[in-house]
Structure 1
Amino acid sequence: MRSLAAALALTLLAATASAYDKKALEEHIRESYQLPSEVSLAFGEAKGSDVPGFDAIPLTLTFNGRSQNETLFLSKNDRHYILGGFKDLKVLPSQERIKKMDLRTAPMRGKADAPVSVVQYTDFQCPFCERGYTIMRDKILKEFEGKVKWYYKALPLGFHDWAEPAAVAVECVKTQGVDKFWTMHDELFDKQGDITAADFDAKAAEFAKKAGADAKAFDECYKGKKTLEAVRRDADEAAGMGISGTPAFVVNGQLVSGADEKQIRRIVEDQLKKVKRGGEKP
């Protein structure tokens, strides 16, 4: 009897937590944030959170095939909400970013055991990203050789007409080897000014061949958009950290927006000083 009563109590609690007016909440969010009808909102189940008096509700916003995941906190009396989440003063933003990034399959340049990681979210059509690429390749990696490793992440912006195809193409080449990936990566930035949306397919095939990729395998991958999901995972990851513009650099968890060489250098030097002080975690 006790176990039955406990089960009923748990069921009642779960029902109470998830019983909120989704329609009213959506209408309020749309008006507050001026969201057009083209943006769809999908609410998850309300669950208890670490914030006293509030439930956490997963919210997915989708527009033009792109999704962004957020957490909405709704008061227990269903009257007040916070979109974007609370900040925990006991957890540094840099630590949160590091936890959110998945670098297991991200292409990397530099020594694997380098103490400083620079993760660049980039767009091949973005002029400032080309500047960021030059800063990393020609300056940071050379000046801090063996101490910095550089990761690539895709973040093609929606208003760039060949940025996403470029990200798909370079991911296809990556399936044939990381060295081939970096060769094509560099070529795309080096020839950025010569590329148009109209001739991108031909350029992609040309650059892939120059990188040493098998033409048939690349063609099947690229035309079939087999790596589009991987590209969009990177973009969703960036959105989850509040990154919406390019280039964005995450240096040992610290965010640098834009091709800001001085800021990147300052953080790298600061992180290396922590290592030098005797094994302190950067």
Structure 2
Amino acid sequence: MYTTFILIVMLAVSIFYSFKRTETISNATSTQQILSKEEVGKKVVDYINKNLVPPGVTIELSRVEDFDNLYKVIILAGGNEIPVYATKDGKTLFLQSFDMTVPLRREEEQQTIKLTTKLLNKINKKPFIGSMNAPITIIEFTDYQCPFCARHSKQTLPLIKANFIEKGLIKYFVFDFPLDFHQNAEEAAIASRCANEQNKYWEMHDILFEKQQEWSYSNEPYKIFKEYAASLNLDVSMFEKCIKEERYKDDVRDDYLIASENGISGTPAFFILRTNSNEAIPIRGALPYTEFERIINLLLR
């Protein structure tokens, strides 16, 4: 999850800022100037955005709660809620709390989930990139109107392709998970299926993300999708017929139901597993390439 990313990237910073003050929290809170939840929440988000996340990533504030002598600041990252903690004077930030009565999970004990037979069976009907005999499978759950999904497609997926897919180590599948509040996400998913009839699924997949801002809030998305079809040298009349018949509407919705049955609630989300296994390591949110690399290498051992 995104928390893992924050811990990996910023652990040194976390330790420094958590312990740079010598007084205990109880002593600090007795003399410190108490700021409001809103003030501390804003300070935390501003600090993280300016100092702790890579370019192109923006953290947002969800809410702030009391937590003993601290504030618990709930931030939004990659569609996930993550708690961090701050002193009430807004001077010290703690990026994670640990329950010291429970041992930390070792990397070799990475949490897995069992995938449903329905999901595993549907994989065989999906277009994919990579080698049929690849030892690792990645399943992505995406929404073409989701900005974090677009970032994954443009920044992280090319690295996975270069370092693993093109070396025959991964086969990569996509399931559609169009969110209700994205007005054209389902239409885009249908367009990708119609392009697949002419063996241009991945080309349409890429152009939909590349030009996401162009069609996302259009009142006539299919008109724009037809232009993309023409640019990809598709038979536009065949593509248009597929769109008008809503040939894949039920199939897109079936993807959504299968995803929900497997615990998916937001995008992007991923399952990484050894091919022919039903146990997968989940990734939720647009995590950086390094997290994918870590899990892939763990499964390749």
What's the TM-score bracket when you normalise by the shorter of the two chains?
0.5 to 0.7
Q: CA RMSD in A?
A: 1.7
Count of residue pairs the alignment pairs up: 180
Residue 216 of structure 1 aligns to a residue in which SS?
A: helix
Q: Name whichever of 152-161 and 201-210 sits farther off.
A: 201-210
1:133 Cα offset (Å):
1.3
- Which runs of structure 2 are paired with 1:254-273 in the superposition (5 Å)? 254-261=281-288, 262-273=290-301
- Inter-partner Cα distance in structure 2 for 1:165 and 1:186: 15
Q: Name whichever of 96-105 and 210-219 sits farther off.
A: 96-105
Residue 121 of structure 1 aligns to a residue in which SS?
A: strand
Cα pair 1:121 1:246 within 8 Å, conserved: yes
- Matching residue of 1:95: 114
TM-score by structure 1 length?
A: 0.60
- Inter-partner Cα distance in structure 2 for 1:147 and 1:188: 26
- Matching residue of 2:137: 117
- Which runs of structure 2 are paired with 1:139-158 in the superposition (5 Å)? 139-144=159-164, 145-158=167-180
1:147 Cα offset (Å):
0.8
- Inter-partner Cα distance in structure 2 for 1:103 and 1:119: 9
- Inter-partner Cα distance in structure 2 for 1:193 and 1:199: 13
- Inter-partner Cα distance in structure 2 for 1:163 and 1:183: 17
Cα pair 1:131 1:259 within 8 Å, conserved: yes
Q: Is residue 108 of structure 1 aligned with residue 128 of structure 2?
A: yes
Structure 2: gaps (5+ residues) = 1-110, 274-279
1:97 Cα offset (Å):
4.7
Cα pair 2:142 2:176 within 8 Å, conserved: yes
Cα pair 1:170 1:184 within 8 Å, conserved: yes
- Give 1:200's match in structure 2, choosing from 209, 221, 231: 221
- Inter-partner Cα distance in structure 1 for 2:284 and 2:172: 16
Q: Is residue 172 of structure 1 aligned with residue 194 of structure 2?
A: yes
Residue 256 of structure 1 aligns to a residue in which SS?
A: strand
- Inter-partner Cα distance in structure 2 for 1:140 and 1:182: 15
- Matching residue of 1:230: 251
Q: Which amino acid aligns with 1:263?
A: E
Q: Is residue 239 of structure 1 aligned with residue 267 of structure 2?
A: no
Structure 1: gaps (5+ residues) = 1-91, 274-282
Name the CA shift for 1:98/1:138 in 2 (closer, same or farther; >3 Å). farther
1:212 Cα offset (Å):
2.5
Query: Which structure 1 residue ranges, 4+ long, deviate > 4 Å from structure 2?
Result: none
- Which runs of structure 2 are paired with 1:7-18 in the superposition (5 Å)? none
- Inter-partner Cα distance in structure 2 for 1:172 and 1:267: 33
1:198 Cα offset (Å):
1.8
| Identity among equivalent pairs (%) | 33
1:125 Cα offset (Å):
0.5
- Matching residue of 1:186: 206
Cα pair 2:131 2:168 within 8 Å, conserved: yes
Q: Which amino acid aligns with 2:292?
A: I
Q: Name whichever of 196-205 and 168-177 sits farther off.
A: 196-205
Give the number of the structure with larger relative contact order, counting CA–CA contacts within 8 Å between residues 6 or more apart: 2
1:107 Cα offset (Å):
1.5
Cα pair 2:132 2:171 within 8 Å, conserved: yes
Q: Which amino acid aligns with 1:267?
A: I
Q: Which amino acid aligns with 2:213?
A: G
- Inter-partner Cα distance in structure 2 for 1:99 and 1:193: 34
- Inter-partner Cα distance in structure 2 for 1:269 and 1:99: 27
